[in-house]
Structure 1
């Protein structure tokens, strides 16, 4: 199997020069003692990708999270475990019911694998794994409640873990109904508010013997995040500094710019557009010649749409490209960049 591109080192390491996708696969290292007797063996899988996105979370420290939609599901209903802020260089997903152990695997899926989802020992027949990594659970039962863990496999052979606690409302527990629980609970009213609306953070089951209570933003122990304190005994209210700065909590996005990586000068046939923005948790839209970009079979978007690859490029791709980033509060569009007119 020696191709002339390998170098062996005294510490056992093996260098592979100028790897191709044909080099991908399992590699096994076997060790022997001085007498030539076999000692041990270890196997690993080498991933070789044809292309890696160089935008989005590759350059940030934000971690992926999972949201249960709805937050609490009634027994017999459906729930989606949504993945937020995924990395750009995703190789695949592995879902676990409980801790990350083989017997707890629900489903495994590799992004570039043509095969269908591979179901694990914890698969119940009611799960659906979407291409974005989100897991749909149909007709949930009480046994479905509990911890779910997601392992996101990256193309650099690393991985990231995130988890979510699924709550299922049964006729016995009724944990989704704050009026039937003895625990202190908070529910926003309305649950999903639009900007500009009023929201009540409704408290349920507050014990009568409570002498005082206080509201805080984020961490309880940070005094600068104190909003208000109410003393039942004296019927007094004291407002904190967070009460006066509440209107500065929302941040507008900054204007992005587009970077072009044109590989045609080196004999290639592709071009990559990258939308550069310092903002996170934003939506990205591509504009071509003042219209929404219509994707063709030659175009590929990165998972968060910050990268646009056209391979192969053609004369009809020449024109002006812009990207727009937006969140719930604002949007900004980059200055246009031209490609193809000079060719």
Structure 2
């Protein structure tokens, strides 16, 4: 075995002669070691790149004369770092010496400005005064200060359910890799594939909810570093296309608009990017190329089928929807006329309603404004009516919305309000001013019922005898219009 110090010259005196003697005893005359009691501990336990580290030796006996430190797993000459003679404190560097190592008198080894390449096994060999040797093994792991990894993608513009995501976290570090999505740890699902080292992420048949910012992170016990985000866009749609409308009445696929009214149709869908819109009217291409189509001044010639086609240029998918636009049947304006027009005290009067809604659901009369304390009565199309808080027993309603007031008195003078609700929920309110004049006599008179003989006279419902309209009647009573 080659000698770690200079060869011993028998004619030399002093320390060089002592070194040769010790080395001969240590490396040529091998004496089986005593049972090992030595151990080596790295301080700090998890050093980072650039730290100063001490390989602290414990359990050293007190009769030692020399130490040898080796980097590696064997006691070969090429692995020798330093030889140290305790008295006089003299150290001799070996082939593995870098200039950053020093041996303490207690046998510990100091390393300055450690680098990851210093990681590995270390061996301490000791020599005592009886020329017996002992060895101890230690291990050092130096953690590097990590640089940000580079995240590489096979593409950042993907089509839903067609393309796959391939992301590579590129880093020279041996640290562990973690993944993040929109700043949060990425959940691992059954559709997520990672290589054993976590450095490649794959998602097949990408979905829209997987669009967002991806990052990878490398870490070790002393350092963490995250990549710049890679933003993935997932193109999808158009989903189900529908047409909604404003300022018109719609039932199913039919839209009704009044004569000369304006109508706006809106084509709605979910798509990324926004789709290209094409409208047609009765099969002919319309000039509108946005999601909105405006129909101004509704007339008979604008009735027909309007179709919207939405096409996504990225997914090459399209969808469509159609509606039938019709002009609603004109209805005459509702009016109220007192009959007679100049009623007098003690006589009857009918507040006759002309042009009432033909799809009437319910109506109510009020003495004054349309508030519940002022309600005279509510009536259903069946002719059944329900008395309100202001009913005096002299008021009676008819199916054509007219109101009979019997045996007028001067206090009946004032405002009367009619409120109607149609089957489609359309509400209309109209009022009339009634002026009762003082009569020349108190002779009672009567007024004939309304001329519409097709409609029955109304009758007051008995609270003790409910009819088939009980539910609707109760509804009108509890929540009057």
Q: Name the TM-score, length of structure 1 as normaliser.
A: 0.38
